[in-house]
Amino acid sequence: MKISLRPHSLSFISSLFLLILFSGSLLAQTRPVNEFRIEPPFWWAGMQCSKLQLLVHAKDVSGLKAVVNYPGITIQDQVSVENPNYLFINLLLDKDLKPGSFDLQFMAKGKVVRSYRYEMKQRVAGSASRKGFTPSDVIYLLMPDRFANGNPANDSMPGMLEKPDRSKPLGRHGGDLAGIRKHLGYISELGFTALWPNPVLENNNAAQSYHGYAITDFYKVDPRLGTNEEYLELIADAHAKGLKVIMDMVFNHCGINHWFINDLPMKNWIHQFPQYTRSNFRAESVTDLYAAEADRNRMLQGWFDRNMPDLDQRNPFLREYLIQNSIWWIEYSGIDGIRLDTQPYPYKEMMAEWTKRVNAEYPDFTIVGEAWLQKESMTSYYQKDTELGDGYNSGLHSVTDFPLYNATTRAFTENEGWTEGMARLYYVLAQDFLYANPSYLLTFLDNHDLNRYYNTIGNDLKAMKMALTFLLTTRGIPQIYYGTELLMDGQEHVNHGEIRKDFPGGWPGDSINAFTPQGRTNEQNEVFNHLQRLLQWRKDNEVISQGSLKHFVPEDGVYVYFRTKGDQKVMVIINRNPEQKVLKTSRYEECINGYATAFEVLTGRLVSLSGEVVLPARTALVYELKK
Ligand code: CA
């Protein structure tokens, strides 16, 4: 995620809390501890890892002695920390542990004073061998608060500080999991195979809670989006419609109103400073050979925003807590992948351990890191198995391809030059040798933090169609932001609400319903149909998901590349010129040798490849070559 660099308006509650936090009383409570909480709230028998750390939070719990009587479970140790309201219990789990429930008892002076029913669940068959998302997928990114309101009854929920107000661009609008569930058919019929909703966990903040990146409970779906059970139902329904689900997770920070921020287990649970200290957002300092410690520390330890305390993942209790939390969600919900927020901001060593532990449980599961970096070299540093100087291996299968994104923001609009226009795409892809696995890069034209692409290219429908064709036929795992199919526009710097508008028709009583062709304008239907045709064609098409890529240096505003797998061959020609061009096919002989004709995927026309091909102005053609 990205934070705007404009000053933020603070809620009164957060201001008060910060005053207390930064005034030296580092474990100050603003709310009394009434609950008896254990996290993870349950676990599973038969996991790879034979250890389980239980975090117990209750008033003065540290003095109690934990006891378990269940075959296959031993208490290795119990650890008290600075705050007496916490107890960490380390369990050893036998390989042949049977599912079941038991009483986790807490004793004082030889008597049981508290008991918690803990469950070791049965794992779902095949859960360890699930397949994550791959280049065969195209991901639909949506913001749950802004997509569809399937249940107006949960718009305002007791205990939640922010109430709905659709008139505010940065307010809560009432979208929810029920709304997503209702429109899964729309997403899958468009041709998408995966869904990435922005974070769904509780964000009980006084303002701007809608985006989901200030989590206040790592084990609970925000009640305004739905319940944990509804999240499971959404995932089951998505799977039934051929859609994988990617969960958006945040480990760099949490929300200021997180229950453990209110009663910190220990000082180094988060990074603390004498006064509010913000990250310098200089991700370069992590890999910079000459970085000053002060800069690197400020990057890693400074807060993302005033309402987002920076977690210190070096703390072993916290590290275990976060790793187990991810495994818990994977096992519990059946998700197919994780999108990791702000990848370079947490300690990279911790994140490497995290990916290792997740993949030890689920070897074929995939994770994409949001590496918001400008250079190919820095981006590649964060992909699994990329070999660079310092031997770091993030373990992350996929990372966001911001260099290619940057290229697409200019390639279709600026004048052609040696390094400009189409050459921008060429120059980025020509650096793929830096990556261990370029086909696993997450490619996109925009997302929830960026200007809407339609706006970037000056509301130009033809440029939009060319760019979408490029995105869906070059290497990578494409991600498309909701509303792209409706030509939604908006600029990030105006305010984030501008790029996160409600999907028309998602709310009861909306005057326009863009989920249906009748509710869309002609232009919207044109881009919708273009996208649908490409997505449906790309689905299960191994020449795109697995085929090799060969491209030719763009000349005269024309960019040509080929995808090949066995006998299957696809030729993509982008002519961005404002006039028709004639392409001599002899230059491409090494690729089209042996193929006489081609089927044009978007128009259904059959064309001859001998001699010359006529290229319509400002159009991308997708040819399936035929012998
Ligand atoms: Ca709702």
Q: Cβ(443)–Cβ(433) under 8 Å?
A: no
Q: What is the pLDDT of residue 31?
A: 76
Tokens 């404002």 sit at which residue? 578
Q: Please, which residues have CB within 8 angstroms of residue 562's CB and are 6 or more apart in sequence? A: 549, 550, 551, 569, 570, 571, 572, 588, 591
What are residue 230's phi and psi, to 5 degrees?
A: -65, -30
3-state secondary structure of 477: strand
Closest alpha carbon to 87 in 78, 96, 95? 78
Average pLDDT over residues 559-571: 97
For the domain covering 20-123, report its CATH number. Answer: 2.60.40.10
Q: What is the pLDDT of residue 127?
A: 95
pLDDT tens, residue by residue, 393-435? 999 999 999 999 999 999 999 999 999 999 999 999 999 999 9
356, pLDDT greater than 50: yes
Q: What is the pLDDT of residue 13?
A: 43
Beta bridge partners of 164: 172
Report domain extents, the chain.
20-123, 135-264+304-540, 548-626
Q: State in Å: Cα 172 to ligand 1 middle.
A: 10
Q: Cβ(340)–Cβ(368) under 8 Å?
A: yes
Q: What is the pLDDT of residue 251?
A: 94
Active-site hit among 370, 446, 489, 498: 370
Q: What is the pLDDT of residue 8?
A: 36
Q: What is the pLDDT of residue 9?
A: 37
Q: State in Å: Cα 245 to ligand 1 middle.
A: 20
Mean pLDDT over each residue of the chain, to the nearest integer: 94
Q: State in Å: Cα 176 to ligand 1 middle.
A: 5
Q: What is the C-alpha to C-alpha distance for residues 545 and 565, in angstroms, rounded to an integer? A: 9
C-alpha 320: how far from its chain's center?
A: 21
370 in active site: yes
Q: What is the pLDDT of residue 387?
A: 87
226, pLDDT greater than 70: yes
- Cβ-based neighbour number of residue 275 at 10 Å: 7
Q: What is the C-alpha to C-alpha distance for residues 249 and 360, in angstroms, rounded to an integer? A: 19
Beta strands in 83-241 (DSSP E): 86-93, 100-108, 111-121, 139-142, 194-197, 201-202, 217-221
Q: Cβ(577)–Cβ(558) under 8 Å?
A: yes
* Band of residue 389 on the pLDDT scale cut at 50, 70, 90: confident
Q: What is the pLDDT of residue 533?
A: 98
For the domain covering 548-626, report its CATH number. Answer: 2.60.40.1180
Sign of CA dihedral 355, 360, 361, 365: positive
- DSSP secondary structure letters along 568-602: EEEEEEEE-SSS-EEEEGGGGHHHHTT--EEEETT
229 in active site: no
3-state secondary structure of 543: helix
Q: Please, which residues have CB within 8 angstroms of residue 6's CB and are 6 or more apart in sequence? A: none
Q: What is the C-alpha to C-alpha distance for residues 80 and 627, in angstroms, rounded to an integer? A: 73
559, pLDDT greater than 70: yes
Q: What is the pLDDT of residue 487?
A: 98
- Cβ-based neighbour number of residue 231 at 10 Å: 26
208, pLDDT greater than 60: yes
Q: What is the pLDDT of residue 223?
A: 98
Average pLDDT over residues 285-311: 96
What are residue 498's phi and psi, to 5 degrees?
A: -65, -30
Q: What is the pLDDT of residue 35?
A: 86
Q: What is the C-alpha to C-alpha distance for residues 103 and 299, in angstroms, rounded to an integer? A: 44
For Cα atoms 303, 304, 310, give the angle at the middle one, nearest 5 degrees: 45
3-state secondary structure of 150: coil
pLDDT tens, residue by residue, 466-521? 999 999 999 999 999 999 999 999 999 889 999 999 999 999 999 999 999 999 99
Q: State in Å: Cα 197 to ligand 1 middle.
A: 15
Helix, strand, coil abundance in the chain, percent, nearest 5: 30, 25, 45
Average pLDDT over residues 28-49: 89
Q: State in Å: Cα 223 to ligand 1 middle.
A: 9
Q: State in Å: Cα 149 to ligand 1 middle.
A: 5
% of the chain at pLDDT higher than 70: 95
Q: What is the pLDDT of residue 29?
A: 65
- Cβ-based neighbour number of residue 96 at 10 Å: 9
Average pLDDT over residues 188-209: 97
Q: Cβ(386)–Cβ(441) under 8 Å?
A: no
Q: State in Å: Cα 536 to ligand 1 middle.
A: 31
Q: What is the C-alpha to C-alpha distance for residues 469 and 443, in angstroms, rounded to an integer? A: 12
4, pLDDT greater than 80: no
Query: Residues 443, 447, 450, 453: what is their CA dihedral angle, to the nearest 10 degrees?
Result: 70
Residue 206 DSSP symbol: S
**Do 135-264+304-540 and 548-626 share a fold?**
no
Active-site hit among 176, 217, 312, 341: 341
Q: State in Å: Cα 593 to ligand 1 middle.
A: 57
Q: What is the pLDDT of residue 33?
A: 84
Average pLDDT over residues 93-99: 97
Q: What is the crossing angle of helices 228-240 and 316-333, to 10°?
A: 50
% of the chain at pLDDT higher than 90: 93
pLDDT tens, residue by residue, 67-90? 999 999 999 999 999 999 999 999
Question: What fold characterizes domain 135-264+304-540?
Answer: TIM Barrel (3.20.20)
Q: State in Å: Cα 414 to ligand 1 middle.
A: 42
pLDDT tens, residue by residue, 576-612? 999 999 999 999 999 999 999 999 999 999 999 999 9
172, pLDDT greater than 50: yes
Tokens 């370069």 sit at which residue? 284
Core vs surface per residue 564-596: b (16+ CB within 10 A) or e: beeeebbbbbbbbbeeebebebeebeebbeebe
Q: What is the pLDDT of residue 1?
A: 61
Q: What is the C-alpha to C-alpha distance for residues 150 and 155, in angstroms, rounded to an integer? A: 10
* Band of residue 373 on the pLDDT scale cut at 50, 70, 90: very high
How many Cα atoms sit within 13 Å of 527 on the Cβ side?
A: 24
Q: What is the pLDDT of residue 3?
A: 54
Q: State in Å: Cα 510 to ligand 1 middle.
A: 14
Q: State in Å: Cα 622 to ligand 1 middle.
A: 41
* Band of residue 32 on the pLDDT scale cut at 50, 70, 90: confident
